Structure 1
Amino acid sequence: MVLVSHTWTFSAPGSFVHNVGLGNVAVMAFFILSGFIIAEAIDAFYLGRPGAFLANRALRLIPPYWGAVLVSICVHASMWRLGTLQLQDYAAPPVDAMLSWQNALVQLTAIVPVFNFNNILPDREWYYFVRFAWAIFVEFVFYGAVAACMIGFSVGGKFLSARTYCIACVVGALSVHAISEYLRPLHSSFAYIPYFAFGVCAYAAVTRDDWVAKLVAAVALFAAVLHFIRYTQGRVNLSAAWLEGLASPPVWTAVLLLVGCGLAIFPLSRVRLSSAAVRRDKWFGDLAYPLYLNHYAVIVLVLSLEGLGVASQITAVIGSLILAWTMKIAIERPMVALRNRIRGADLAIVEPTSSAPQLHTV
């Protein structure tokens, strides 16, 4: 959905399907799924091991990101030397923002919030060679928050049950979101808390059939919808303009798609899968991250060499899939054994189950 959304500018800019913003729907749905899957991973593999959790998440996110940065820099430099460099979001390439050593430092550190040099260096425009990596930065903030909650349980667990502690963490996170979003801005990543919170609560609802989890999930989904309606309209405030924008077909179409993606977790989590289907699902799932990271470089390459048109869009989609597969083999596959050791299990040999909750006796 992200790839198709970003390549509509080749063939149908300004059209209804372009204005819906399938990429926005996909990224927010990804945050929801991430909440569900990370809760599952902690439940199954990382209880009491926040260090192992963060180490494995870092190995999953950072090396592929750095590889994508390198590929994108090579594409930009090659097109610049040819004199054909064209960018989707700029009338002319921002050369000064691209070529500084400070920008290079930002590229390497932006993915890890605590080391993000764009919060240290003088405020200026940075050009991200992995253009849509902001969602990965938000994801890393989520991992840090989860690890902090895991560490906090070593103290909080002496006074609260695991269930009560988890509820307190999610409710606290939603409260931080409300303060940051509607009272006083605290951190840009806090805007996306409801999506992750809904995913976490959906996991608890599916595996524990917990009524409080269902209630908090409903609150989180409501908060996510409020944010998404604002987000799709350019982050407008709650006002008459917000309501007027909601009546726009692209906006309410995107909202319905997002809600559908979120609610689909509940039936999909109980689908029976064959071993062959599980392997196919894992293969496509593993392709998703390098595809997200590397498709911008392909868009820049095709736009610079071919220009606009339907053929260019098709070329960009096919080229992105090929590059994603190549980067998956080159960067992610060599780390599988190390990540399995850290996790304590090889996901490639986990047997499919009749329903998701059976896995969580681990």
Structure 2
Amino acid sequence: MSGTLRLFLAILVILSHFGGDPYYKHFGYYAVRVFFILSGFAITAALNEVYAFDLKRFWANRALRLLPLYYLVLVATLATILALPVETARFSSHWEGPNLNDLWLNLLLLPMMDWAHAFRLVMPAWSIAVEVVMYAYLVLGFARRKSYATILFAIAVAFHALTLFDGSGWDTRYFAPHSAALGFSIGALIYFWRRETLLRVAPRTILPLLLLWIANTTSGGWIFSDDYARLEGFYLNSVIGAALVAAFAEWRPAAPLRVVDGYLGELAYPAFLCHWLAGFAVALTFFEPDARGLDFTLAAIPASLLVAVVMAALNQCWIEPLRRKIRGGAKVVVPPSPDARTASVAGA
């Protein structure tokens, strides 16, 4: 039961990109880190409970989950750039001056985790590429046992400690692909702690934890300094986010609410993918091509959600039947977690 949370986090990413004030930037940073915790939890559950580390089925399912919608947005964005090169370049410098090499890098996806590649057809490609690398970490064994997940967590802590003490700075602490191991290892540990009944966070704490997370997010750069937002607040975000994920894992709402939550969750990934393209359409129609600000954001969010509804419908029609078939062929060989539906957190 985390679909609503995922959609909320996707909307915060849109705000961070279009808000027009540097203050909103860390809203997206914090949201993506909670996404990573959710993914670590869901993928560890899926590998153990759905696929039993049948890697052929797992990677086929992940490819179907991530790539068709990614390439749909990529093609639509490329067509828009070719049709309106001046306007798209005004909207984002990442859409300026494409060449054949840039196109191949975007098609391959994984090179997009390196910010040295300035031309980006799908702006969130960085986090998607990082997710794929983290999946590989979990597949290689870190999702098999609690002790292995603990080792990954220790490595991630050491990495972040090194970035603090050697002066690497914020870019390394956040954008370096291996920095995401902190969130993914935390998510994996939540799964094992729950399976061994070592961790229970009551669902009644969801609202207080969410309010605390929002308070920490909004206070950085406002009540506290920008340095707080990129240091103490950044790591506190992971702590609160972990508790929030654990609390959502315990929530058992009524069936109608589960259906609504599931549908909202299905909109999160498409909205995350398409919001730059949807935002450009809004800017070109109602504002200026380089529009930013809260008024623009308030228009771009519903436009992104509308496009996400269409994308989710296409996904349900063409892709999900294949994914259900793949999941149905997997065998469970480990005792299930207290909630056998944990793998559904991120559509695993």
**TM-score higher than 0.5:** yes
Aligned to 1:22: 27
Aligned to 2:40: 35
Aligned to 1:357: 338
Tell whether 2:330 aligns with 1:343.
Answer: no
CA separation of 1:117/1:7 partners in 2, compared to 1, >3 Å: closer, same or farther?
closer
Alignment-derived partner of residue 56 in structure 1: 61
Query: Which deviates more, 261-270 or 37-46?
Result: 261-270
How many residue pairs match? The answer is: 302
Superposition map of 1:142-221 within 5 A: 142-149=134-141, 162-168=145-151, 170-171=153-154, 188-210=176-198
Correspondence for 2:20 among 9, 13, 17: 13
Deviations 1:126-149, CA, capped at 9 Å, x for gaps: 411111220000001011222222
Q: CA deviation at 1:172?
A: 5.2
In the alignment, the residues of structure 1 paired with residue 259 and residue 189 of structure 2 have an alpha-carbon distance, to the nearest angstrom, of: 27
Q: Which moved more, 1:258-267 or 1:197-206?
A: 258-267
Structure 1 position 47, deviation (Å): 1.2
The answer for the alignment partner of 2:87 in structure 1 is 84
Q: 1:297 aligns with which of 271, 277, 296?
A: 277
| 8 Å CA contact retained: 2:113, 2:126 | no
Alpha-carbon distance in structure 2 between the residues aligned to 1:166 and 1:315? 42
Q: Which amino acid aligns with 2:241?
A: C
Q: In 2, Cα distance between the equivalents of 1:252 and 1:163?
A: 27
Q: Could you tell me whether the CA contact under 8 Å between 1:106 and 1:118 is conserved in 2?
A: no
The structure-2 alpha-carbon separation of the partners of 1:85 and 1:266, relative to structure 1 and needing over 3 Å to count, comes to: closer
1:240 aligned partner: none
**Structure 1 314/55 Cα, relative in aligned 2: closer, same or farther at 3 Å?**
same
Offset at residue 254 of structure 1 (A): 5.8
Matched, 1:104 2:97: no
Q: Secondary structure at the match of 2:87?
A: coil
- Asked whether 1:128 is paired with 2:126, we answer no
Partner of 1:260: 240
Q: Evaluate the alpha carbon distance shift between residue 39 and residue 76 of structure 1 in structure 2; reply closer, same or farther with a 3 A threshold.
A: same
Indicate how the Cα distance of structure 1 residues 86 and 290 shifts in structure 2: closer, same or farther if over 3 A, else same: same
CA distance in 2, matches of 1:283, 1:39: 22
1:287 aligns with 2:267: yes
Tell me the residue number matched to 1:271.
Answer: 251
Deviations 1:154-193 (A, max 9, x none): xxxxxxxx554554455456556667886799x9311111
Q: Distance in 1 between matches of 2:155 and 2:265?
A: 31
User: Residues 260-287 of structure 1: CA distance to partner in whole angstroms, max 9, x if unpaired?
Assistant: 2221122222112111111111111111
Q: 1:25 to 1:66 in 2, by over 3 A?
A: same
Is contact 2:16-2:28 (8 Å) kept? no
State the secondary structure of the residue aligned to 1:193.
Answer: helix
| Alpha-carbon spacing, 1:246–1:13, altered in 2? closer, same or farther (3 Å) | same
Q: Distance in 1 between matches of 2:33 and 2:342?
A: 29
* More divergent stretch after superposition (130-139 vs 325-334): 325-334
Which residue number in structure 1 is paired with residue 133 of structure 2?
141
User: 2 CA distance for matches of 1:340 and 1:43?
Assistant: 17
- Asked if structure 1 preserves the Cα contact closer than 8 Å seen for 2:112 and 2:129, the reply is no
Deviation of 1:64 after TM superposition, in Å, equals 1.0
**Percent identical residues:** 22
The 1:289/1:358 distance shift into structure 2, 3 A limit, reads closer
Residues in 2 aligned to 1:2 and 1:66: alpha-carbon distance in whole angstroms: 19
Give the aligned residue type for 1:142: M
Q: Which amino acid aligns with 2:310?
A: T
Retained in 2: the 8 A contact 1:45–1:343? Answer: yes
- What is the aligned partner in structure 2 of residue 324 from structure 1? 308
Instruction: Report the TM-score, using the length of structure 1 for normalisation.
Output: 0.69
Deviation of the 1:29 alpha carbon: 0.4
| Gap regions ≥5 residues in structure 1 | 154-161, 212-228, 234-242, 347-354
1:94, distance to aligned residue in structure 2 (A): 2.3
Displacement after TM superposition at 1:62 (Å): 1.0
Q: How far apart in 2 are the matches of 1:298 and 1:258?
A: 30
Q: Is the 8 A contact 2:10 2:272 kept in 1?
A: yes
**Structure 2 letter corresponding to 1:281:** D
Q: Deviations over 1:78-119 (max 9, x none)?
A: 333xx53354543x9622xx1x12122112112xx3xx4999
Q: Cα 1:267–1:75, aligned 2, differ >3 Å: closer, same or farther?
A: same
1:217 matched residue in structure 2? none
Shift of 1:195: 0.8
Computed over aligned residues only, the root mean square deviation of the Cα atoms, in angstroms, reads 4.0
Change (3 A) 1:312 1:331: same
